[in-house]
Amino acid sequence: MSVARTDPELLAVSRADAPADLLLKNARVINVFSRTIEDGDVAVFGGRIAGVGSYADAKQTVDLDGAYLAPGFIDAHMHVESTMLLPPAFVRVAAPAGTTGVVLDPHEIANVHGIPGIRLLMDQALGLPMNIMFAASSCVPSSPLETAGATLEADDLAPLFDDPRVVAMAELMNFPGVINGVPEVLEKVALGLDRALVDGHCPGLGGNALCAYTAAGISSDHESVAPDEAAEKLNRGMRLFIREGSAARNLEALIPIVTAANAARVSFCTDDRHPGDLIDEGHIDHIVRRAISLGLDPVTAIAMASLHPAEHFALRDRGAIAPGRFGDLIVFDDLDAPRPRRVYFEGTLVAEDGAMVADCPDRPVPPDFLGRSVHLPADLSPEALRVTAPAGQIRVIQMDPHQIVTGQLTSEPRVENGACVADTDRDMLKMAVIERHRGSGAVGLGFVHGFGLKSGALASTVGHDAHNLAVVGTNDADMLVAARALSEAGGGQCVVRDGRVLALLELPVAGLISTGSPADVAERQRALWSAAESLGCPHHDPFMPLSFLCLPVIPSLKLTDRGLVDVGRFEVVPLAADG
């Protein structure tokens, strides 16, 4: 489709000796190299920017009449599975928001389907009007304290790098493994360094441990929550991705550390972005607007959303409005709140006034990947959820609806017939994580405070990162109904009361992703939330915290199919508080 940089026809257009395909006249061009604004024209030919300055001749001319023209936005790190959308559907909602590039770490689907799952998303991303890049998922499973559907070693990951869209080894979440020099982990780091680069994930890391992590070659981090933490990582040579997603939002805390001198080493990412937020707030454009509203210079914010991630990933053909780079461009009117009015990808208009205008159809998903990922034991019975009461107090997970970290309580259990049961009066609900990849019958059981349900149950096959089936409820019967409903649906999220499914979001692809449109998914999510509210849950979206209650690499008390995990001790612990 697009011409090479050394195409003589491109150079003829640059010289103004031949007409451009597209000429954007009278723009205020955001120059991310010098972080200035220039008045001028931008000529595009064969998908690339031929020239910036003064041009007159083109097949199509658009007079921007003083509107701003900026490079398209790039998300430096995200898991597209969190949008619950397949790549074409994701593009249909993200492209109108000005996103022209994204680095996807497909580690959610990799935990379910392994390399074939990654390949599925890579196939789905082919030929879309967005530069969809991938990072090779480095930590599948996230820890040995859970049962995932696949285990990926360096040898499994290596062939991925033969695809030029694979631009990094994805976030090396096993930072203790790097720091302590675990051979299998270092093998993945060495592979990433050899083939591309290695992105990081090291919440709270500092001091000598951070030195070890960076010495090994880990070159970015997106987990900083505090300014000092972020500043130290910058000083040790890491590029910083400031994360502002749906679950974790770090922008406000970190914006104060950005200076004119260090901004070149700072980018934005969403990490996890939910479909409703994508539709309602936007994508990287939302972060840019919010950063500006928090006081960041607008041109610097745009550079952090374009050139800076391009430099990190060595994308010399993207990330700026400059001759030879691809024509990934956005038009907007208000520098204090850039809202993309037109979005061009490789010189073609793809979105206008928030709506897709380019073709971006769904692609069929091979039947092997549809509704085939939830395997519960055939004989799953109430007995599987029974918790024999221990002597004394029990550990209880303290859920915070706005955080992915949890607290840890100890409490007297409510006991009936020798078994611990949910106690709605004290908001102490039962939770189960049921292994769903192999139908092994492994079930982790525990209790959680914070959901506020007065009746019924919630269940989800989205449960970071192993994505086993997580269910929380006021009674075992509804919990079982919810688990079976998801099994029948082939994956998803549901709300059950009195044996009846009140709402169901089907996620047939790996139990994580819908085959529906962004609007469908968002509508079904709202129905879920509304149903959860009818059970007494006071939170906007209880499925977000539910999905992170399983993640045994984020403090402090979590539940996997192996049981309760004390993340600080990095081991499975008994229910009994004194165990």
214 sits near its own copies (criterion: CB under 8 A):
yes
Would you say 51 or 338 has its CB closer to its own copies?
A: 51
Residue from 65, 162, 261, 364 binding its own copies (CB under 8 A): 261
234 sits near its own copies (criterion: CB under 8 A):
yes
Contact 542, 401 (CB under 8 A): yes
Q: Which two tokens stand for residue 310?
A: 């391009």
Sites for its own copies among residues 320-379 (CB under 8 A): 320, 322-325
205 sits near its own copies (criterion: CB under 8 A):
no
How many whole angstroms separate alpha carbon 201 and alpha carbon 213?
10
Centre a 10 Å sphere on the Cβ of residue 7 and count the other Cβ atoms it contains: 15
500 sits near its own copies (criterion: CB under 8 A):
no
Would you say 11 or 58 has its CB closer to its own copies?
A: 11
Would you say 262 or 534 has its CB closer to its own copies?
A: 262
Stretch that binds its own copies, among 123-131, 263-271, 277-285, 525-533 (CB under 8 A): 263-271
What residues contact 356, with CB distance under 8 A and at least 6 apart? 91, 92, 95, 96, 350
Contact 557, 406 (CB under 8 A): yes
Residue from 12, 225, 357, 389 binding its own copies (CB under 8 A): 12
Residue from 196, 225, 226, 231 binding its own copies (CB under 8 A): 231
Would you say 206 or 555 has its CB closer to its own copies?
A: 206
* Contact flags string 30-59 toward its own copies, x per CB under 8 A: -x-xxxx-x---------xxxxxxxx----
How many whole angstroms separate alpha carbon 176 and alpha carbon 531?
41
Contact 502, 422 (CB under 8 A): no
254 sits near its own copies (criterion: CB under 8 A):
no
Stretch that binds its own copies, among 28-36, 73-81, 117-125, 437-445 (CB under 8 A): 28-36
> DSSP letter string over 193-235?
HHHS-EEE--TT--HHHHHHHHHTTB-EE----SHHHHHHHHH
Instruction: Of 152, 146, 145, 155, give the one whose Cα is nearest residue 172.
Output: 152
Size of interface with its own copies, in residues (CB under 8 A)? 66
Sites for its own copies among residues 277-306 (CB under 8 A): 300
Helix, coil or strand: residue 574? coil
Would you say 3 or 337 has its CB closer to its own copies?
A: 3
178 sits near its own copies (criterion: CB under 8 A):
yes
Helix (H) / strand (E) element for 501: namely: strand 500-506
Q: Which two tokens stand for residue 257?
A: 């550390």
Stretch that binds its own copies, among 1-9, 355-363, 471-479, 495-503 (CB under 8 A): 1-9
Centre a 10 Å sphere on the Cβ of residue 63 and count the other Cβ atoms it contains: 12
Contact 463, 108 (CB under 8 A): no
Binding site for its own copies (CB under 8 A): 4-6, 8, 10-12, 14-16, 31, 33-36, 38, 48-55, 178-181, 183, 186, 189-190, 193, 197, 207-212, 214-217, 219, 231, 234-237, 259-265, 300, 311, 314, 316, 320, 322-325
